[in-house]
Each structure stands twice: as C-alpha cells, then as structure tokens.
C-alpha cells in the first residue's frame, strides 16, 4: 500500500495514522488536512511538532454502482445508506482492515520499544469506517482514535452483540466473525478477553457537521451510540457548518484538545 508520510520536526513521540475518504488519495487528503486551522491560526503540524503523520492510500477498486474503478477502501452501493448491499463491502474490508492493522503494528515497532500507546488512529468518512474496524479487531489498546463524518459498517450486527452486554465482556472475535474478517476458536477467544477489554479502553473522538452533504449526521450519531454500547469512552462533537469536512476553527480546536489530553 502506498503511504504519504510527514516526519516530525522535533524528536518523535507519537504517530498518527489517518485514512482518507472515498474517491480521494493520501497526498491530496494530507495537504487539505494540514490546511485546517485552529482558533489561534496554527496548523496541526505546528501544534504537534513531535508527531509523525502516516496517510495510507486506498487502491482502486471496482465500483458496482458506477461501473468503473475508483479509490475506495471497500465498495458499497450507498454512502447515505451504508446498510445497503453489505455483501459488496466484505472483500475490501477484509483486505484493508488487515492492511491497517499491519500498519499499526509496524508503526508501533518503530519506537525504541513496541509502543501501541503512542499510536493515534483515525479517518474521515469511509476511511474512518475502515479504521474503526481495524481497531476493534486489533485486540490492542492504542493512544486514541479520531473519526470524522462517518458511520459504522454492519452497525446492526455490532448492536446485536452489544445488546444486554452491560459488562461488555464479549470477544472482539465475535465482531470479527460477523464481518468475516478472521477466525479464532472459542477456546482461543476466551483466553484473549483481557486484550479485548484493553482495546475497548481506547479513547475515541467523533465529530460530524449538521449539513454534511455526503454522510448524514444520523449515521455519525449511530456510530457514536454503537461504540458506547460496546463499552468505549466516546467524545462526541457536532457542528452547525463545515460540510463533509472538519469544522473550522472549533472542530480543529476540539481535535487538538482531545489529542493533547490523551498524550499526557
């Protein structure tokens, strides 16, 4: 997978892995992302000079709807209604969830000691949808997760697993099996429950703009509710304007505050 990497300007302390949306590319997205300004007129790179930024790029996949290849993490029939034709989503999800998990592990290994607690994962739109599944099936806790203008693929299945599980003691393997993203025997799954709990302790930041012309804010709210149901600590922010992007400057300020809090 091609990646666009921006090195830290000071001694490296954390790595952010951030996935672009559908019909975009890593470098294009990164350039726009780094133009977003906080209320003090600073940019992400200025605020976090010790961060390495890794932007993976989705490879072209055939679109069943448009009949041509396009840059996307997985195919789907409708961004507005992500529950439609789930069978289209499985192949791309299986491939790219595995790839993103490998990137997480690789980047965590680039520190003097293996340090997933120094990794922040995130994405926008379909990139976030892919990244959250990578986190849920990783069985490790990372520093934090940030999702913008997105949804949770197969959310009804996740809610089914979460229903009544007030102690959130089910295995992430259960979610994996629903997505057909992997297989672990029931005996192996029982021995991994502590890893599962650790993953669910990863702090999450989600934001969405009311007038998002691509992904309805109701999908973002459902993502938030689903993650809370499986026991995750979610910070939710919504904004009046900003479209299918980061609200400026308040949305940038909120992302900065979240990252500053989790790296303490």
pLDDT of res. 91: 86
Calculate mean pLDDT across residues 120-126.
98
Cβ atoms of 120 and 143 closer than 8 Å: yes
Pairing of strands 144-148, 119-124: parallel
pLDDT of res. 83: 81
pLDDT of res. 49: 98
| Rounded Cα–Cα distance for residues 151 and 223 (Å) | 5
What is the fold of 3-262? Rossmann fold (3.40.50)
Residue 43 corresponds to which tokens in the numbers above?
């940019």
pLDDT of res. 113: 95
| Rounded Cα–Cα distance for residues 9 and 248 (Å) | 24
Domain locations in the chain? 3-262
Condensed to tens digits (0 to 9), the pLDDT of residues 13-42 reads 999 999 999 999 999 999 999 999 999 999
| Rounded Cα–Cα distance for residues 143 and 100 (Å) | 16
pLDDT band at 231 (very low <50, low <70, confident <90, very high): confident
Condensed to tens digits (0 to 9), the pLDDT of residues 47-90 reads 999 999 999 999 999 998 889 999 999 999 888 887 888 888 88
pLDDT of res. 170: 46
Condensed to tens digits (0 to 9), the pLDDT of residues 95-116 reads 999 999 999 999 999 999 999 9
Decide: helix, strand or coil at residue 205: strand
Report which of 145, 143, 149, 168 is spatially closest to residue 158, judged by C-alpha positions: 168
Condensed to tens digits (0 to 9), the pLDDT of residues 163-219 reads 544 444 444 455 556 555 544 444 444 444 455 567 889 999 999 999 999 999 999
**What pTM did the predictor assign?**
0.89
Burial classification of residue 55, based on how many CB atoms lie within 10 Å of its CB (0-12 exposed, 13-18 middle, 19 or more buried) = buried
pLDDT band at 162 (very low <50, low <70, confident <90, very high): low
């Amino acid at each position: 997978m091609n990646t666009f990497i921006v090195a830290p300007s000071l001694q490296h302390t954390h790595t952010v892995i951030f996935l672009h949306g559908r019909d975009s590319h890593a470098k294009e997205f990164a350039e726009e992302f780094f133009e977003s300004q906080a209320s003090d007129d600073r940019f992400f790179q200025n605020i976090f000079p010790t961060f390495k930024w890794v932007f993976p790029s989705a490879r072209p996949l055939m679109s069943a709807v448009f009949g041509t290849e396009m840059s996307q993490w997985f195919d789907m029939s409708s961004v507005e209604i992500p529950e439609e034709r789930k069978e289209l989503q499985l192949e791309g999800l299986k491939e790219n969830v595995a790839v993103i998990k490998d990137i997480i592990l690789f980047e965590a290994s680039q520190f003097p000691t293996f340090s997933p607690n120094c990794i922040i994962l995130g994405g926008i739109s379909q990139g976030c949808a892919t990244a959250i599944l990578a986190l849920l099936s990783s069985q490790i806790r990372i520093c934090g997760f940030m999702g913008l203008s997105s949804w949770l693929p197969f959310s009804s299945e996740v809610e089914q697993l979460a229903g009544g599980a007030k102690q959130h003691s089910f295995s992430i393997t259960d979610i994996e099996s629903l997505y057909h993203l992997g297989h672990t025997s029931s005996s192996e799954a029982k021995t991994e429950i502590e890893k599962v709990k650790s993953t669910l302790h990863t702090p999450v930041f989600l934001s969405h703009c009311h007038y998002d012309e691509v992904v309805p804010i109701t999908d973002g709210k459902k993502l938030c509710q689903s993650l809370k149901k499986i026991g995750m600590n979610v910070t939710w922010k919504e904004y009046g304007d900003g479209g299918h992007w980061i609200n400026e400057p308040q949305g940038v300020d909120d992302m900065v505050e979240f990252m500053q809090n989790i790296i303490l």
